[in-house]
Amino acid sequence: MAPRGKAQSTREARNPLGAKSSSRGGIQKRRGPTRVDTDGDLDMDGPSKRPNRGPATETSGGRGRPSGRGGPGPSRGAAKVAQIVMKQLGGGSDLASRVSRPRGRGGQIEGLTWLRVRGLKQSKAASNSDGGLSDLLSFLERKASSLGTGRKRHITIRKSHRAGEFVFVGANKEDAEELLKLNTFTFAGVQLEVVESNGDFEPSSKATESPETAELRAKLQSILSQRYIGENKLLKLDALASDPELVTLGMFENRERALKTFKGLMAICDGLFKTAQEKKDAIHSISLANNSIDNVIQVESVAVSFPQLKNLDMSGNQVSNMDGLQRWKGKFKELETIYMTGNPIEGTDVNYKTTLLEWFPKLQNINGVELRTAQQIAEEEAARLPKPIPQSGPDFRDVNGIGEQFLLDFFTAYDTNREGLIARLYDAGSQFSLAVDAVSVRDPNAPAPLPWAAYIKSSRNLMKINSHHARSQRLFKGQAVIHDLWKELPVTKHPNMKEELSKYIMDCHPLPGLADPTGQSQLGVDGLILAVHGEFEEYDQKSGTTGKRSFSRTFVLGPGLSGTAPIRVVSDMLSLRAYSPLPNVFVAPSPAPVDAANQHQAMIAELSKQTGMVPQYSEMCLSQVEWDFGRALVIFNEKKAQLPPEAFAPAV
Amino acid sequence: MPLPDADTEVRASSEAAENFVNNYYQAINSKAKLETFYINSSTRYSIPADISINGSVVPTPAEYSKLLESQGENVLYEIESLDTHIINPSFQYGAPDTVYESEKNEKSGRRMSIVVTTMGKVRFGKGREAPQKMFNETFVLVPNWDAMARNPARGLKRWLIMSQNFRAL
């Protein structure tokens, strides 16, 4: 709707029969008797042949304007009006496409530029049978096409509709630019105003619908409200064809009309709710019972309008196989209950319940029998989710306690005496670098992560640091160089490893092939590689900030030069990330998955509990269906009547 | 022994680490075979790679593939941090008696062993809401002697995993 168009919601008075033609104005073509639909568009198609009509909203489809060919005469009373209304309500259109877009933008094509044209109503052409619309459109196209200098290009109006005194025309961007140049051109005695539409026009059907349309809409709404049982959140759309009011309105005259009526009812339902949530809250259940439905194509729009429906009654219809339900496969993702009793499928497809359970992930209950519980569904879903590789405690394959001793010593020394630590364990060949991951996953409830300023200028994260110079500069080699860096890094306090072991994860393995610092062994010497993960508290003396960080640190340890320390640090790589507590790998790992035998026992017990069968019969039943619990229940319910009395546990 | 100079060390180790992680995590994400990334695939190495995943020793790359597969569909590893040091600039372990163009290879940093650390995320499932976990992983890469020949077989990796330690954090 145009900004000003909204105020002018009452439509210009027009002869609904539209037969009066003007003798004035040379631009009008001679026409036969014509009908006018509610927005003034010519309605050329008879009721029986309208396959080419586009979405039946205010916007006329295709080329956007009627091409003069007479229709079959004036309206034929209530049924005729009803048909027009159905068209207006979306009955003739693809409901899915309407619903998927915001309301009121029904006919808009992606990428069209919309222009607003004023002047038609004041022009002499307004008295033409179609209100002059077709003449205006061909005028605009013709004039715009002839504007260009040099090679002429045909300008096409792709869409058009009237709203109050305005005509909105949609064209591609280039054409729209040409059309805009027609501003102030004279059409049928009137100066036109052609401006770019600001885009929030809404070809709302309500604003321009005729009294007849409004009346029918009201009637249908009233029928819907009678069929809505608020306390049960149930919409009863059963046996529609025998509803006296709908019959009186001629809404179920024939099959085609019935289908359109149904779509129209769904469209009205949609219109009654402002949000999808409101709709979901108001309607939990729908009954479509006794509607002679043999294929849900006929009522497919229920799945579009009520995707979160919980309960659906399809009983007493004519569905004879799963093909008849195919269109709903993958829809109704929240459906919990369905009734299919009284459909031929009960006799023709013995597996239909199993298939329904597969198609509707939340379905628990068919024909009033619970076939699986919500908990079972949740467990099945959980089983399908990806699972991390399980955690175990430290893989600490130490040699002579060297790795353990190193770790117990290292973090205390790093916190309290970095210089002494370097003097003891680092030498001219030792390397240190640190790498910052500033985008790590962290606990959303934890305090904001500490700033990275103190580390970022020495971070050697090779994902970020690409220049050779920086990579060389940020690799620290030798005692002096490492010490120069460490004394600038923030003061830290690591948890005491003995007292707070669970704040660490550490692995240690032997590693062959290290360079022999004595140069004696050509093949190299054996060492250790350690990976430690943990946290530390930090105090940045420069900025005065304190807080926690998480770290991982990898050490390669080798034998020291004899006479100095027994071990030396070959490599020390520190990785830093925002604080996030570690998983505690020291607790006993989660119990091993229940083995098959135990699982079978549990299923037997559960089936016996749900069905009242004795365990032997539960086991027979389950083994028949390869231990598929859902299918076991289906089979039980099918064969229940044939089971001997001893199959059931005696009532206590 | 013509050891690589400091510049060559940085260049060669960075390049080796970058190539390796690109290929390795892509292989993991696409569930490709992992065998060729490990020393297990070369007859020059008499020992298998030491693979430690979340604290458990995994005997073979194929077993690790199984473990990865058991996580289910749509599990994605993404690296956010990478660093590398040289452990031994003139690695000898498993080397043939005469290494092809030995001096040239040593000088250009192809005979090193290096330690590579990565940190990143594992995403479990598609979409923004999918759970994700941090991980830290350490590799020791050693030369693939088979690739250091006059006419090496095509598709051989230059570096192989001798030691691997993965931890979800």
The answer to whether residue A461 neighbours chain B at the CB level (below 8 Å) is yes
pLDDT above 90 (res B85): yes
Question: Average model confidence (pLDDT) for chain A?
Answer: 79
Largest CA distance in chain A: 120
Strand-pair partners of A98: none
Strand-pair partners of A567: A559
Amino acid A33: pLDDT:
46
Which residues from chain A sit within 8 angstroms of residue B88, using beta carbons?
A: 513-515, 524
pLDDT in tens, B124-162: 988 778 889 999 999 999 999 999 888 888 889 999 999
pTM exceeds 0.80 for this model = no
pLDDT above 70 (res B48): yes
Q: How many helices (H) and strands (E) are present in chain A, helices listed first?
A: 21, 20
The pLDDT confidence band at residue A443, using thresholds 50, 70 and 90, is confident
Over residues A573-592, mean pLDDT: 80
Give the separation between CA A140 and CA A65, rounded to whole angstroms: 12
Q: Do B140 and A471 touch (CB under 8 A)?
A: no
Give the separation between CA A169 and CA A161, rounded to whole angstroms: 7
What are the residue boundaries of the structural domains of chain B, listed by start? 6-168
The answer to whether residue A585 neighbours chain B at the CB level (below 8 Å) is yes
Which residues from chain A sit within 8 angstroms of residue B140, using beta carbons?
A: 511, 529
Specify the 3-state DSSP secondary structure of A265: helix
Give the separation between CA A482 and CA A61, rounded to whole angstroms: 75
pLDDT above 70 covers a percentage of chain B that reads 99
Give the ipTM of the model, two decimals please: 0.96
Optimal mutation site among B70, B87, B139, B141, interface A, most CBs of chain A within 10 A: B87
The pLDDT confidence band at residue A193, using thresholds 50, 70 and 90, is confident
| Residue A214: DSSP 8-state | H
Specify the higher pLDDT residue, A276 or B137: B137
Amino acid A420: pLDDT:
94
Amino acid B11: pLDDT:
95
Amino acid B23: pLDDT:
96
Q: Do A531 and B165 touch (CB under 8 A)?
A: yes
The pLDDT confidence band at residue A340, using thresholds 50, 70 and 90, is very high
pLDDT above 60 (res A597): yes
The answer to whether residue A570 neighbours chain B at the CB level (below 8 Å) is yes
Over residues A197-218, mean pLDDT: 62
Best-predicted range by mean pLDDT among A126-135, A354-363, A519-528, A588-597? A354-363
Amino acid A12: pLDDT:
40
pLDDT above 60 (res A263): yes
Amino acid A244: pLDDT:
84
**CATH no. of A227-384:** 3.80.10.10
Q: Return residues 406-445 of A near B (CB < 8 Å).
A: 431, 433-437, 439-441
The pLDDT confidence band at residue A87, using thresholds 50, 70 and 90, is low
Q: Do A471 and B10 touch (CB under 8 A)?
A: yes
Residue type, A427: D
Specify the higher pLDDT residue, B126 or A481: A481
Domain over B6-168 is classified CATH 3.90.320.10: no
Over residues A478-504, mean pLDDT: 94
Specify the higher pLDDT residue, A68 or A133: A133
Domain over A1-205 is classified CATH 3.20.20.70: no
Q: Do B165 and A507 touch (CB under 8 A)?
A: yes
Domain over A402-578 is classified CATH 3.10.20.30: no
Amino acid B88: pLDDT:
94
Architecture of the CATH domain A596-647? Orthogonal Bundle (1.10)
Over residues A293-299, mean pLDDT: 89
Structure token pair of residue A60: 């006329």
Specify the higher pLDDT residue, A593 or B11: B11
What are the residue boundaries of the structural domains of chain A, listed by start? 1-205, 227-384, 402-578, 596-647
pLDDT above 50 (res A97): no
Nearest CA among A167, A93, A174 for reference residue A134: A167
Amino acid A61: pLDDT:
39
Q: Do B117 and A468 touch (CB under 8 A)?
A: no
Amino acid A56: pLDDT:
38
Over residues A613-641, mean pLDDT: 85
Question: Does the CA dihedral A73-A75-A79-A82 come out positive or negative?
Answer: positive
Give the separation between CA B32 and CA B28, rounded to whole angstroms: 6
Inter-residue contact A25 to A134 (CB < 8 Å): no
pLDDT in tens, A44-57: 333 344 344 334 33
Amino acid A379: pLDDT:
84
Structure token pair of residue A19: 């037969």
pLDDT in tens, B95-133: 888 888 888 888 889 999 999 999 999 999 887 788 899
The pLDDT confidence band at residue A544, using thresholds 50, 70 and 90, is confident
Amino acid A46: pLDDT:
37
Length of chain B: 169
Q: Do B169 and A583 touch (CB under 8 A)?
A: yes
Over residues B37-57, mean pLDDT: 95
Amino acid A204: pLDDT:
46
| Tokens 């690799």 belong to residue | A475
Over residues A475-485, mean pLDDT: 96
pLDDT above 70 (res A25): no
Specify the 3-state DSSP secondary structure of A461: coil
